[in-house]
C-alpha cells in the first residue's frame, strides 16, 4: 500500500504520478497523518470503472434471474447469435 502526504504530492507530483502509473495501484494521500484522498493513474481509474460497471451488470442479471427472468443455455445463445449475425 502506497501512502504519501499531501505535501509530498504537491512537491513531488511527477514522481508520485509516475509511481501511480507504474504500480497501477492507488496512492493514499494524508494530511497530518490522517487519510484525505486517493490518487491513481487514469488507466487504473478507467479499469476500475469498467470493472465496477461489469459487476453491476452481472448483479443486475443475477437479480433478474432470481426474479424469474428467462435464461438461455449456451447452445441457445450460440443459435441466436448465428441467426442474427450469420455464422
φ, ψ of residue 67 in degrees (nearest 5):
-85, 0
Structural contact between residues 30 and 10, judged by C-beta atoms closer than 8 angstroms: no
Query: Does residue 63 form part of some domain?
Result: no
For residue range 51-74, what is the model confidence (pLDDT) as tens digits? 999 999 999 999 999 999 999 999
- Rounded to whole angstroms, the Cα distance separating 14 from 24 reads 15
- Rounded to whole angstroms, the Cα distance separating 51 from 63 reads 18
| CATH number, position 14 | 3.40.1620
> What pLDDT does 8 receive?
97
| Global confidence as pTM | 0.73
Distances in Å between the alpha carbon of 39 and those of 11, 29, 67, 87?
A: 15, 7, 39, 46
- Domain limits for position 34: 2-41
Total of domains in the chain: 1
Query: Does residue 84 form part of some domain?
Result: no
For residue range 26-46, what is the model confidence (pLDDT) as tens digits? 999 999 999 999 999 999 999
Query: Does residue 20 form part of some domain?
Result: yes
Amino acid at each position: 500500500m502506497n501512502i504519501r502526504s499531501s505535501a509530498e504530492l504537491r512537491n513531488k507530483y511527477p514522481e508520485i504520478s509516475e509511481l501511480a502509473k507504474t504500480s497501477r495501484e492507488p496512492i493514499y494521500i494524508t494530511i497530518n497523518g490522517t487519510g484525505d484522498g486517493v490518487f491513481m493513474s487514469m488507466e487504473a481509474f478507467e479499469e476500475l470503472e469498467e470493472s465496477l460497471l461489469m459487476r453491476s451488470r452481472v448483479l443486475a442479471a443475477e437479480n433478474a434471474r432470481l426474479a424469474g427472468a428467462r435464461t438461455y443455455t449456451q447452445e441457445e445463445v450460440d443459435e441466436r447469435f448465428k441467426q442474427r449475425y450469420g455464422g
